[in-house]
C-alpha cells in the first residue's frame, strides 16, 4: 500500500511539471524554474542585454525558444541564465558566437554545467 501511495505522489508531481522543448529535446521543468515569467523588456532589464540583442540570439539559436502565450513571448530563469553565460563567454573569454552556440548545444545535451 505504501508503494502505491508513493507512486501516486510521483504521478501527481509529474502533473505539475511543464514539458519544454529545446534543441529537439523535451525537458520537464519544475515549477521553481518556470516562475517568474518575464516579457522581453523585463528580461533585458534584469540581464543587462538589450531586447534587440535577445531577439538576435533567438534567431541564431543561442537561446531556447520563448514560452508563447497567445502572441506574447515570455522568458524564464533559464533564459536569464543562458544570457549570463553568453555574456560571460563573449565578453570575458572573447569567444565567438559560433563557439558559444556549440558550447550551449553541449550543455543542452549533457545537462547543466556549474
> In this structure, is residue 24 part of a structural domain?
no
pLDDT tens digit string along 55-106? 999 999 999 999 999 999 999 999 999 999 999 999 999 999 999 999 999 8
H/E element, 8:
helix 2-14
> In this structure, is residue 13 part of a structural domain?
no
Is 0.75 surpassed by the pTM of this model? no
C-alpha cell at 105: 548545444
> In this structure, is residue 23 part of a structural domain?
no
> In this structure, is residue 46 part of a structural domain?
yes
Q: What is the pLDDT of residue 28?
A: 63
Q: Is residue 107 very low, low, confident or very high in pLDDT (cuts 50, 70, 90)?
A: confident
When divided into structural domains, the chain yields a total of: 1
> In this structure, is residue 12 part of a structural domain?
no
Sort 82 into a burial class: Cβ within 10 Å, 0-12 / 13-18 / 19+.
Answer: buried
10, pLDDT greater than 60: no
What range defines the domain where residue 106 resides?
Answer: 34-110
CATH no. for residue 97? Answer: 1.10.1660.10
> In this structure, is residue 52 part of a structural domain?
yes
> In this structure, is residue 72 part of a structural domain?
yes
Helix-helix angle 51-59:40-47, to 10 degrees: 110
- Decide: 28 and 14 in contact? Cβ < 8 Å: yes
Q: What is the pLDDT of residue 58?
A: 95
1, pLDDT greater than 50: no
Q: Of 14-23, 40-49, 65-74, 105-114, which gets the smallest average pLDDT?
A: 14-23
> In this structure, is residue 81 part of a structural domain?
yes
C-alpha cell at 39: 516579457
- Residues of the chain with pLDDT > 70, as a percent, come to 66
The residue among 102, 42, 95 whose CA lies nearest residue 66 is 42
Amino acid at each position: 500500500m505504501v508503494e502505491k501511495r508513493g507512486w501516486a505522489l510521483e504521478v501527481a508531481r509529474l502533473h505539475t511539471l511543464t514539458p519544454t522543448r529545446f534543441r529537439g529535446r523535451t525537458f520537464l521543468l519544475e515549477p521553481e524554474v518556470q516562475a517568474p515569467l518575464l516579457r522581453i523588456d523585463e528580461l533585458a532589464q534584469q540581464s543587462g542585454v538589450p531586447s534587440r540583442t535577445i531577439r538576435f540570439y533567438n534567431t541564431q539559436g543561442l537561446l531556447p525558444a520563448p514560452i508563447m502565450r497567445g502572441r506574447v513571448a515570455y522568458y524564464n530563469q533559464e533564459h536569464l541564465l543562458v544570457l549570463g553565460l553568453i555574456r560571460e563567454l563573449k565578453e570575458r573569454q572573447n569567444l565567438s558566437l559560433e563557439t558559444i552556440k556549440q558550447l550551449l548545444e553541449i550543455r543542452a545535451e549533457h545537462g547543466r554545467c556549474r
